[in-house]
Amino acid sequence: MAETTLAPTAGEAVATAEMPRSLRRGGHIALISGIVFLAVAISIPLFFRNFVVFQFTQMLVYAIAILGLNLLTGINGQFSLGHSAFYALGAYTAAILMDQYSVSYIWTLPAAGVVCFIAGFLFGLPALRLEGIYLALATFALAIATPQILKLSPLEHWTGGVQGIVIVKPDPPLWLPLNQDQWLYYFVLAVALLLYILARNLVKSRTGRALMAIRDNPIAARSMGINLSLYKSLAFGTSALYTGIAGALGAIIVQFVAPDSFTLVLSIAFLVGLVVGGVGWLPGAIFGGAFVLFVPNIAEGVSKGLSGAVYGVILILLIYLMPTGAAGFVRAVLSRFKA
């Protein structure tokens, strides 16, 4: 049920972002689909049960994380298998601040963002020397190391060690007639939209063009006077910031963080979401988020014993149908629509 309503919704959402050049004329399509997406997104809590609202909230959280990864991989051309680490860092920042220092959940987001930006920037510095496969391995190492570092006994005082941290679910403001799940949904939606608009502006800015120039041809970019190491580290930092905020939101809605939540599997899920949505196309994140959350459930519904196999087959079929993810698919549909 949830899936059938989702498809058209998300399908409309695509045009809100920057379009490939050939489609820029279709600005009105972008506007209309943006409005339709917003209308549908806002009305979701009115029509669905709390549990489904919770699922959509989770989907938005994944979408933010994938958006962050897209800034790094899609826009700047750097590959990362380590984004579960930044997601974890954001989640733990939020959880520790709420649990030990009684910080309000709203303020944990900027904190998580700043911490992750710094971490991402610093990680980006040595990663500068690495390219392609080697960068993949370095980030891979980060993803593997994260749960083990979170479990480390000297840090147990803050992280709760293997036990993790349980946090309290925030209540909606008193003046709003919403329950906790609905409130969190709108809260996450607002954050997601804000982050999306910022990302879009970033990509369209001078900085964004520099990032893309580095992706397309690093040597040419350098000879045009672009400071490669600065921009690449910045891309890493910004990407980590997005993913970290997603992690903080994820911790708040799930009310629990533990090392086992942030394994390599999560990084792989982000990567799959990125490709399914479309590398380099920002609105694709919502498709990616939906895939990451809902497709495993569909697979399980088809066959319990072979759910992994069903998931894999769905994934392969999807790549067959749209080798460049939802981005290419939407592009093809729109161009046919105009012709």
Partner 1 sequence: MELLGQQVLAGIATGAIYACMALAVVMIYQAIDHLNFAQGEMAMFSTFIAYQLMLWGFPYGIAFLLTIVISFAGGVFIDRVIFKPIHDAPILSHVVVFIALLAILNSAAGFIWDFTVKSFPSPFGSSPLFGSSLISAHQAGMVCVTLLLLLFLFFFFRYTRIGLSMRAAAANPASARLVGVRVGWMNALGWGMAAAIGAIAGILIAPVVFLEPNMMISILLYGFAGAVLGGLTSPAGAVIGGFTVGVVENLAGTFIPVVGGELKLPIALMLIVAVLVFKPSGLMGRTVVQRV
Partner 2 sequence: MLSHKISRRGVALGIVAAGTFAASAAMAQKKYDSGATDTEIKLGNIMPYSGPASAYGIIGQVEAAYFKMINDQGGINGRKINFISYDDGYSPPKAVEQARKLVESDEVLFIFNPLGTPTNSATMKYMNAKKVPQLFVATGATKFSEDPKTNHWTMGWQPSYQTEGHIYAKYILTNHPNAKIGVLYQNDDYGKDVYKGLKDGLGDKAKTMIVADAPYEVSDPTIDSQILKLKASGVDLFMDITTPKFAAQAIKKVAEIGWKPTHILNNVSASVGSVFKPAGLENGIGVLSTGYLKDPSDPKTKDDPTLKEFFAFLDKYMPDADRSNLNLAYGYGVTQTVVQVLKQCGDELTRENVMKQAANLKNFRSAVFLEGIAANTSPSDYFVLEQLQMMKFTGQSWDFFGPILSSEAKS
Site for partner 1, rule CB under 8 A: 73, 79, 126, 129-131, 133-134, 136-138, 140-141, 144-145, 148-149, 151-154, 217, 219-220, 268, 271-272, 274-276, 279, 305-313, 315-316, 319-320, 323-325
Q: Which residues, at least 6 apart from 322, have a Cβ–Cβ distance to it below 8 Å?
A: 328, 329
Cα–Cα distance, 8 to 3 (Å, whole number): 9
Give the x-and-dash track for 122-161 against partner 2 (CB under 8 A). Answer: ----------------------x---x--x---------x
CB count in 10 Å sphere of residue 294: 17
Among residues 97, 135, 147, 127, the alpha carbon closest in space to that of 266 is found at 147
Cα–Cα distance, 83 to 229 (Å, whole number): 20
Out of partner 1, partner 2, none, what residue 52 binds, judged by CB under 5 to 8 A for its kind, is: partner 2
Q: Which is nearer to partner 2, 166 or 197 (CB)?
A: 166
Of the candidate spans 105-113, 122-130, 221-229, 305-313, the one that interacts with partner 2 by CB under 8 A turns out to be 305-313
Question: Least distance in Å: CB of 314 to partner 2?
Answer: 14
Give the x-and-dash track for 46-85 against partner 2 (CB under 8 A). Answer: ---xxxx-xx--x---------------------------
Q: Which ranges of 48-131 does DSSP label H, i.e. alpha helix?
A: 50-70, 83-101, 105-127
Which residue has 């394994």 as its token pair?
263
CB count in 10 Å sphere of residue 128: 15
Among residues 180, 189, 170, the alpha carbon closest in space to that of 51 is found at 180
Q: Which is nearer to partner 1, 42 or 141 (CB)?
A: 141
Of the candidate spans 133-141, 253-261, 281-289, 324-332, the one that interacts with partner 2 by CB under 8 A turns out to be 253-261
Number of residues that bind partner 2 (CB under 8 A): 31
* CA distance readout (Å), 186 to 60, 124, 178, 266: 10, 33, 10, 24
Q: Which is nearer to partner 2, 45 or 283 (CB)?
A: 45
At residue 297, φ and ψ (nearest 5 deg) are: -65, -40
Q: In angstroms, what is the C-alpha Rg of the chain?
A: 20
Out of partner 1, partner 2, none, what residue 268 binds, judged by CB under 5 to 8 A for its kind, is: partner 1
Question: Least distance in Å: CB of 15 to partner 2?
Answer: 30
Instruction: Please say whether the beta carbons of 16 and 34 come within 8 A.
Output: yes
Out of partner 1, partner 2, none, what residue 28 binds, judged by CB under 5 to 8 A for its kind, is: none
Is residue 176 part of the contact set for partner 2 (CB under 8 A)? no
Mapped onto helix, strand or coil, the DSSP state of residue 322 is coil
CB count in 10 Å sphere of residue 130: 15
Out of partner 1, partner 2, none, what residue 136 binds, judged by CB under 5 to 8 A for its kind, is: partner 1
Question: Least distance in Å: CB of 248 to partner 2?
Answer: 14
Binding site for partner 2 (CB under 8 A): 49-52, 54-55, 58, 144, 148, 151, 161-164, 166, 250, 254-256, 258-261, 263, 265, 296, 300, 304-305, 307-308
